[in-house]
Every structure is written in structure tokens, then in C-alpha cells.
Amino acid sequence: MAAKAIFKKPQSLSDKEFTYCPGCHHGIVHRLVAEVIDELGIQGKTLMVAPVGCSVFAYTFFDVDGTVAAHGRAPAVATGMKRAMPDKVVFTYQGDGDLAAIGTAEIIHAANRGEKITTIFINNAIYGMTGGQMAPTTLLGMKTTTSPYGREVDREGYPIHVSEVLKELSGVAYLERVAVSSPAEVRKAKQAIKKAFMTQIKGLGFSLVEVLSTCPTNWGLSPTEAINWLNENMKKEYPLGVFVDKVGELK
């Protein structure tokens, strides 16, 4: 009896092996994005923008055209690409240090203008690539290399809830926060990513999917401990759910 493949690498991923730390969720999200691109049949017309941070490695893992942007500037670069080539499907892949810190203005104004681009936003509450510094999304009491005694309101302020901020902007057509820490959540995250891309394809406006992710290395936890910490702490601070949906049911 001939063997039958039941699972294989998405065509929109390159053959390069992932180099992310064990337990990091970037690899899961990469696969979901690639599967969506394959299923929608848009590999040949998809452009990616990967800025600074762990997300910068994405350009070696996705088998689509694209470019690298300066720190935080991915939405601005993506805006130019989409306006110059409106027939393309353009997405940015950004971390919280990039998007919610130096890139705050870019993401807010792209969303407010209703730019027809899609953003995949990875929130692991810390700067992953550059040494584990405190990010805008770092939780209160959370220890980082720049908040060694834990984040305090009087000193560092409150965590920024990006999705809650963006949902108030009229240009946003689809916005959801998901996680990938269980099989059921992985399936739901894929549907959210697909709806975000469909938002752009339908020309409805700006779309973003925020994905809660672990960073075992900089959290100082094992992969299993990191998932437990995310479930027990990050989901309380950043509840999962749909904030804006102008797409409706996918057909």
C-alpha cells in the first residue's frame, strides 16, 4: 500500500529550517500564514515587510517577495508598496517592541487611514532579539533586563493594549487577538489570519491579527513553563477575541 502524505510543509515557506528558540511561537505563526497564502492561491502576488527584531528573520523563511524595513517602519513601507502595486497582497510581520514602541505612529496612522494592508503582530511582552528589555506590552511586575525589579506604574507606566487602541480607528476593517498555545487556538488563529488577508483582498481597509506568544529564552522559563505563564498571565492582561470585523462569514 502506497504511503499517503497527511501533512507537509506549506509551499509558501522556504526550505530553510527555523532558527527560532525552542518553544518560541514564531514558527507556528509562520506556518499558519504560509498555509493561508497557499489556500488563497496568492503566493505569486504576496509581498512581505519584515522589520527589526526576531521578525527580521521572516524574510528567509517565507518564499514570497518582500523587503526589510527600518525599525518600526514596516506599515509605512507596506503602505508605499500597496499604493504603488494595488493588485498585490501586502503584509507586515512585526513584534511588540517594533510595532508598539518605535513604530507606534506608523501603525496608528496606517490603521487610521484604512490602508489596505495586513499586519501580523506578535506580542510576547518583551524585546526578544536584543536582550530581553522591557517592551510597551510588558506586564506590571514582570522582570526584564531593563526592569529587573518588575515593571512599576510610577516608573514605567502601564502596558499598552494595541488592539484596544486600534479598534477605535475608523479605518480598521478587521482586528482580532488570538493565541497559539493549544491545538484549538492554533485552528482559530489560522481562521483569523485568513480573514485578515481576505479583508485586504476585498479592499475593505486595514487588518491586523495580534498573536500572544511565548519567549522562553528571555522569560527565563522552559517552553512548557512559558505556555503556562502565557495562559495564566498574558491572557488576563490581553483577553482574546474579535475587536472589529467588517468581513463577516468567509465563503
The model's pLDDT over 194-244, given as tens digits with 9 standing for 90+, comes to 999 999 999 999 999 999 999 999 999 999 999 999 999 999 999 999 999
The answer to the question of residue 130 being in a domain is yes
**pLDDT value of residue 169:** 98
Percentage of the chain beyond pLDDT 70 is 99
Task: Tell me what the mean pLDDT of segment 37-55 comes to.
Answer: 94
The answer to the question of residue 16 being in a domain is no
The answer to the question of residue 234 being in a domain is yes
* Owning domain of residue 217: 23-243
The total number of structural domains in the chain stands at 1
> Is it the case that residue 110 has pLDDT exceeding 70?
yes
**Residue 40 — left, alpha, or beta (φ > 0 → left; ψ -120 to 50 → alpha)?**
alpha
The answer to the question of residue 232 being in a domain is yes
Enumerate residues 6+ apart whose C-beta is below 8 A from 176.
163, 192, 195, 196, 209, 210, 241, 242, 243, 245
Return d(Cα 104, Cα 98) in angstroms, integer: 8
The answer to the question of residue 4 being in a domain is no
Nearest in space to 166 (alpha carbons), one of 125, 230, 223, 119: 119
Task: Tell me what the mean pLDDT of segment 57-72 comes to.
Answer: 92
The model's pLDDT over 90-105, given as tens digits with 9 standing for 90+, comes to 999 999 989 999 999 9
State the number of CA atoms in the 13 A half-sphere of 244 facing the CB.
25
The SS3 call for residue 207 is: strand
Task: Tell me what the mean pLDDT of segment 12-23 comes to.
Answer: 93
Percentage of the chain beyond pLDDT 90 is 87
